[in-house]
Structure 1
Amino acid sequence: MPGPSKPLLTVLSGRISERKPVWLMRQAGRYLPEYRALRAEKGGFLALVYDPDAAAEITLQPIRRFGFDGAILFSDILIVPHAIGQELSFGAGEGPRLSPPLVDASLAALERVPARLEPIYRTVEKVKSQLPAETTFLGFAGSPWTVATYMVAGQGSRDQAETRGFAYRDPAAFSAIVDAVAHMTVDYLVGQADAGVEAVQLFDSWAGSLAPAQFEDWVIRPTAAIVANLKARRPNLPVIGFPKGVGSRIAAYANETGVDALGLDETIAPEWAVEALPADLPIQGNLDPLALLAGGEALEKAVARILSVFAGRPHIFNLGHGIIKETPIGHVERLLELVHAR
């Protein structure tokens, strides 16, 4: 059982920690001057991800500055399709590109390159050796639906229409893509755990774009498979599920996927979550990143509401999505003061 020295692991085990654990999605990133300086020195984003020394340094930067209770691995969800055999690039100001797009190419033609995962495991080992004893180390992967949207279209999109249409037209082909992602994701997360992470998060950033039947097929089913296979191989590894934008369907996700904890985005009312979700399920979230950007009274009211509503149940304080790059450092410091003053 986790001891009191790791508040985040305490909460993930279903207990209430005396110290409210805090970490922020995208806490290692562009709002930090030390990150911007290292990126300017090292070059592009992908070069940072595949450089274990640089990626470890970036993972540790917000821990040194803020003392968060969780350190989240610095990497990217598209490492998995890169290992499946697509080529990955990040153009300046363009976002990620995967080639060939599977909307008009065959998954079977891709040659798996699992060695592309190895630098990430080296990053984990380097971070683990430097983390404070009280800090929980979080690994992560993208959930199959969200990863598959990039694999099919070759890039991100506003509504994932190309991938949703592909899934309707050829559900067998799309199922093969989702299953390939799920299989590689289990191996990847097991590798992260063996290298030193203590819990993992599944990011399903585009889960909210799906119709109900597609949500069952492409979010709940593959997520449940990942969790079951992870539990078979690493029974003590906590899994946080984060299906963004799904509204009330998050209750079905909680009940049917087997995740150990649930991340809430900023659109979920805390009061509703307390009523609709299992009372013993650890909850993570769900401050609006724009409230943190705004600071002042807006931040104070939002933090107070979340702390009040989730008092008395296992809760990890976090944002409803990633921290915005323009967020002032002082607002993050104030957030920590507000959480730890309670």
Structure 2
Amino acid sequence: MRFDAPAVTAEKPLLGVLKGERPTVPPIWLMRQAGRYLPEYRELRAQKGGFLELVYDSGAAAEVTLQPLRRFGFDGAILFSDILIVPYAMGQDLWFEAGEGPRLAPILAEADLSALTPDFGRFDAVYETVRRVKAALDPSVTFLGFAGSPWTIATYMVAGQGSKDQGPARRMAYQEPDRFAALIDAIVDATIVYLSGQIEAGVEAVQLFDSWAGSLSPLQFERWVIAPNRAIVKGLKARHPDIPIIGFPKGAGAKLPDYARGTGVDAVGVDETVDPHWANAALPAGLPVQGNLDPLALIAGGKAVEQAVDNIRAGFSDRPHIFNLGHGILPDTPIDHVDALLSYVRQEGDRN
């Protein structure tokens, strides 16, 4: 696979890196950059009364997407939504319990997939958010859409909520592999529809979040992470061959090179537990990478951030690199630490 990029992407640094360019200063965005660490987000969410209400108000969701761009001047905008919109559109009820997180019903550990009635119209408000953001976005900023990867989505659908070790889904995958495969296949199909709709509405690249990929054994990882993501990449590329796809299998560790080769993604997100020097040596030559500052280092700030940035930049110095966190920004992150991070990455890039 080649990673050549047309010259026009110089006007969009992040998109250029996804297509193989290596600018002196790496483009930067942060996972969950639109969120609770920002006072303007907290104020808007309080007005709307709940998370799902915020997601489904396209004007408000567009505003949330744009808030961190105005404050920090990131090179990428990430759509404000939630990975559980896919099971919601597949027919599960979705709500958020205050202080406890999302809930889905019926629980598929106890009910069949056939009990669900899909309603892909539940994607429409998200597509409207994309259109509103696209109309307001600075042309130099790359607009990223996203979806959860099938394994991570399945863990919520089977348990009806988040679980510490993803035990209910892992049990089903071992004990009822045909039933679990049918669920995964249905998620793959819904995700292709969802991401294709985001692309048609205006996003320029998409990211697949596999937050719980690290909970699987190697054989299960191949079956429930690599194969389904490969199917999504294939389906999206058939419809939108020029749209870059970032794969982020959190916790993959030593399985990361197999993921990169097996899925066909255009770039790989690397979590904070991965040594960037190892990743650079192990991943396919020329493959763009994204990451991988520890979100807790950003909270600490100062020398902790500078040392980590230096190590990450050195590790990925000879391949296309998007600077990001190794997972989402945490709610208690000081805003001035984010300002300092951007300043240091960009100044450090200029020095090189």
Q: How would you bin the TM-score normalised by the shorter chain?
A: over 0.9
Among 32, 41, 50, the residue aligned to 1:26: 32
RMSD: 0.7
1:226 aligns with 2:214: no
Identify the match of residue 339 of structure 1 among 310, 325, 345: 345
Query: For residue 288 of structure 2, what is the amino acid of its counterpart?
Result: P
Letter in 2 for 1:33: P
- TM-score if structure 2 supplies the norm length? 0.96
Match of 2:278 in 1: 272
Contact in 2 for aligned 1:7/1:19 (Cα 8 Å): no
Letter of the structure 1 residue corresponding to residue 245 of structure 2: V
Partner of 2:337, secondary structure, is: helix
Aligned to 1:210: 216
Whether the aligned pair in 1 keeps the contact of 2:96 and 2:103 (CA below 8 Å) is yes
Contact 2:214–2:252 (CA under 8 A) maintained in structure 1 = yes
Residue 23 of structure 1 contacts residue 318 of structure 1 at CA under 8 Å; is this kept in 2? yes
1:62 corresponds, among 61, 68, 79, to: 68
Partner of residue 137, structure 1? 143
Task: Please report how far the alpha carbon of residue 18 of structure 1 lies from its aligned counterpart in structure 2 after TM superposition.
Answer: 3.8
Distance, in Å, in 2 between the alignment partners of 1:137 and 1:19 is: 19
Residue 52 of structure 2 corresponds to residue 46 of structure 1: yes
CA distance in 1, matches of 2:135, 2:78: 15
Q: Distance in 1 between matches of 2:343 and 2:314?
A: 16
Aligned partner (choices 207, 232, 239) of residue 201 of structure 1: 207
Query: For residue 73 of structure 1, what is the aligned residue in structure 2?
Result: 79
| Alignment pair present for 1:307 and 2:343 | no
Whether 2:102 is the aligned partner of 1:121: answer: no
Q: Corresponding residue for 1:192?
A: 198
Structure 1 residue matching 2:33: 3-state secondary structure: coil
| Aligned-pair identity (%) | 64
- Deviation (angstroms), 1:187: 0.6
- Structure 2 unmatched ranges of 5 or more: 1-5
Alignment partner, residue 295 of structure 1: 301
Quick check: 1:14 aligned with 2:20? yes
Determine if the alignment matches structure 1 residue 321 to structure 2 residue 339.
Answer: no
SS at match of 1:317: strand
- Deviation at residue 188 of structure 1 after TM alignment: 0.4
Indicate conservation of the 8 Å contact 1:102/1:154, yes or no: yes
Q: Which runs of 4+ in 1 moved over 6 A?
A: none
In structure 2, C-alpha distance between the alignment counterparts of 1:259 and 1:98, rounded to whole Å: 29
Residue 261 (structure 1) aligned with residue 267 (structure 2): yes
The C-alpha deviation readout for 1:198-251, integer Å capped at 9, x for no partner, is: 000000000000011111110000000000010011101100000000111001
Offset at residue 19 of structure 1 (A):
3.4
Letter aligned with residue 296 of structure 2: L
SS at structure 1 position matched to 2:11: coil
Q: C-alpha offsets along residues 153-202 of structure 1, whole Å, 9 cap, x if unaligned?
A: 00001100111001111111100111100000001000000000000000
SS of equivalent residue, structure 2 residue 325: coil
Q: Which residue of 2 aligns with 1:3?
A: 9
Aligned residues of 1:31 and 1:324 also touching (Cα < 8 A): yes
**Alignment TM-score, normalising by the size of structure 1:** 0.99
* Shift, 1:77, TM fit: 0.3
